[in-house]
Amino acid sequence: MRPEDSALARTSGLRSARQTEGVRSYLDHAATTPMRAEAVAAVTAELTRTGNPSSAHGSGRAARRVVEDARELVAERLGAEPAEVVFTGGGTEADNLAVKGAYWGRRDAARRDVLVSAVEHHAVGDAALWLAQAQGAQVRILPVDGTGRLDLDAYAAALGPQSAVVSVMWGNNEVGTLQPVAEVAAAGHAAGAVLHSDAVQAVGHVVVDFAASGLDLLSLTAHKLGGPVGIGALLARRSTALAAVQHGGGQERDVRSGTLDVVGAAGFAAAVDVAVRTLEAEAVRETALREELFARVRAAVPEAVRHGAASPEDPAAGLPGVLSVGFPGAPGDALVMLLDAAGVDVSTGSACSAGVTAPSHVLTALGVEEADARSVVRFSLGHTTTTADLERVSAVLPDVVARARAAAAYV
């Protein structure tokens, strides 16, 4: 065994009696969050239903009613009209439909620019790059400051008569920074662009009002707010020209063909309902836990560095549950492995493709050096997080960081 392998393998001392019994601290809610009881009940109630919601018979009409009730509830909770809710298979599909569908829907040879922020999720960024490679679009990457907030002056300079589509995410999935969506929408509309925001991380965690935002398109997904995996939605104004990305039976305003997921829609709506109704109190609770967690992290590892716009002085500048922390000299993947062995689930700030770990494009956009970007861990809290989870992190973190640094010394 190599010395570095041995350093990572010696984790038995981190396993508490409670962890051995199967109790874990789940701090990866930004990846997916446990289903809420209301969503589980809604899904369970529909699992045995028979009927395709596109069928004209009684069973089909009953299934359709479930879908339309879900559509109305999602719309009501998010400041949209029911006709503006287009169900999709999740956030990635919603983002692709927004970026590609809006670009194709314009059919304007004079407007070729697709503007996206440097910290977008790959579902937006890669869709824009595909338009450049396959459709002749001109992608303009909008810079952010050191906290991940959009540079509004650079954005204004990039806008013009050639602007077709603008996509700026509502809240960042890695560092939690919130964007000035209303300002972005107003400036983009003045230039004649179609405005989209990936609000996958924001809905159910901060106030999202589609009508008030000024946006034309907004993406969300169920499993980030306590609903089932496999269903999401694109909120799309009826006045926005939107081309279909997939074709077939013409469901969902003829822009998203496919048999509607009755079970998923019911669970999705139930999750949106409870998440939005309890949002104010839950946001206060999660923000307090987030700040307590960072205080505990700094007490355990004083040199730890925080990334993103939120701070004790301005806690509302970021998503309530997202905390991005760098541990200098400790590889993020080693930290994740060692925390996992100690019963704590977290993610790194890196993207892994084909077995090769690369520094996060989000952290790079913030100006974080590559070596530091590789040492970042994302803690993300949610509706099941308690103080006990923070206590477990506090207890194991000093040893975890020391072991990760020891492993790095052999590389």
CATH architecture of 37-277: 3-Layer(aba) Sandwich (3.40)
- Count of alpha carbons within 13 Å of 217, Cβ hemisphere only? 32
Pull the structure tokens for residue 238: 């009826």
CA distances, 405 to each of 9, 186, 262, 335, 339 (Å): 14, 47, 49, 9, 14
Q: Which residues are catalytic?
A: 352
| Dihedral angle of Cα 64, 67, 72, 74, to the nearest 10 degrees | -170
Do 3-27+278-408 and 37-277 fold alike per CATH?
A: no
Each residue's pLDDT tens digit in the chain (411 positions)? 444 444 444 444 444 434 444 689 999 999 999 999 999 999 999 999 999 999 999 999 999 999 999 999 999 999 999 999 999 999 999 999 999 999 999 989 899 999 999 999 999 999 999 999 999 999 999 999 999 999 999 999 999 999 999 999 999 999 999 999 999 999 999 999 999 999 999 999 999 999 999 999 999 999 999 999 999 999 999 999 999 999 999 999 999 999 999 999 999 999 999 999 999 999 999 999 999 999 999 999 999 999 999 999 999 999 999 999 999 999 999 999 999 999 999 999 655 543 556 889 999 999 999 999 999 999 999 999 999 999 999 999 999 999 999 988 876
Q: What is the pLDDT of residue 2?
A: 46
255 C-beta neighbours (distance < 10 Å), count: 20
Q: What's the whole-model pTM score?
A: 0.93
Contact 166/148 with Cβ under 8 angstroms? no
Sequence-ordered strand ranges (E) for 84-225:
85-88, 113-117, 138-142, 163-167, 194-198, 217-221
Going from the C-alpha of 47 to that of each of 42, 50, 263, 387, 389, the distances in angstroms are 9, 9, 6, 35, 33
Q: For position 107, what pLDDT does the model report?
A: 86
Determine the pLDDT at residue 218: 98
Domain residue ranges in the chain: 3-27+278-408, 37-277
Contact residues for 95 (Cβ-Cβ < 8 A; gap 6+):
121, 123, 124, 127, 167, 196, 198, 200, 219
**What's the topology of domain 3-27+278-408?**
Aspartate Aminotransferase, domain 1 (3.90.1150)
